[in-house]
Amino acid sequence: MGWRVLIFMCRRIFIGLTLAATLLVSAVPEDYQAVVHKFYLIEHERVRPGSRVVLTLQELNAYARQEIADVAPDGVRNPHLDLGEGKATAFALIDFGKLRRAEGNPPGKLMAYLLDGERPVTITARIRSAEGTATVDVESVEISGVTLEGRMLEFLIQRYVIPAYPNAKVGQPFELGHRIERLDVQPSAVAVVIR
């Protein structure tokens, strides 16, 4: 359950900020199959205590491309993920007008004028974890070159993300489960450390 919460968080941060789906770079089917197998081993607790399961950036992007494609609403294109030391940055081209329509909330004429058309979106989040828990702190959101951070970003999260996704734990610790001790996020991979 905890690992699914982590996947849920990653998806919902991007989607929940109405910035939609995430994480992707072209990857071969073997990357997708490899990461699904690793997730299976973690979820079914078939990894030895003290082990590190390494999820490469290519595997994570392959997973996201496949899985997010199934749930991403119309209006999200070319998503991909970059990793850094303890952080992740998700990119996509998003048409907010199409997103609103897909949610069943078509914008009025004026709002459609403002929202329609693809916009480059970037979300950067810091990921901290230890002792079986993780916290995802959204540091910034950039839409068409305009950066939201600080109080404006907090307002966006509290006003739109949390009401839409009440189970989202933005900026709050959540349990990883499945005997996961911590996640080590590095530029090329995320290592899942098993207790």
Q: What is the pLDDT along the chain (195 residues), one digit of tens a residue?
A: 445 555 555 555 444 443 333 334 443 589 999 999 999 999 999 999 999 999 999 999 998 788 766 666 677 877 789 999 999 999 988 888 888 888 788 888 998 888 899 999 999 999 999 999 999 999 999 999 999 999 999 988 888 778 767 888 899 999 999 999 999 999 999 999 999
Dihedral angle sign, alpha carbons of residues 165, 166, 168, 170: positive
Burial per residue of 39-50, b for 16 or more beta-carbon CB atoms within 10 angstroms, e otherwise: bebbeeeebeee
Q: Which two tokens stand for residue 108?
A: 């009025």
Rounded CA gap, 58 and 81, in Å? Answer: 9
Give me the pLDDT at residue 7, please: 54
How much is the CA Rg of the chain, to the nearest whole Å?
A: 17
Domain range enclosing 46 = 2-194
Q: Return d(Cα 60, Cα 192) in angstroms, integer.
A: 13
The pair of structure tokens assigned to 61 is 């992007």
Q: Which residue has the tokens 């997708």?
A: 32
pTM of the model: 0.75
- Distant-in-sequence, close-in-space partners of 106: CB < 8 Å, separation ≥ 6: 100, 112
Domains identified in the chain, total number: 1
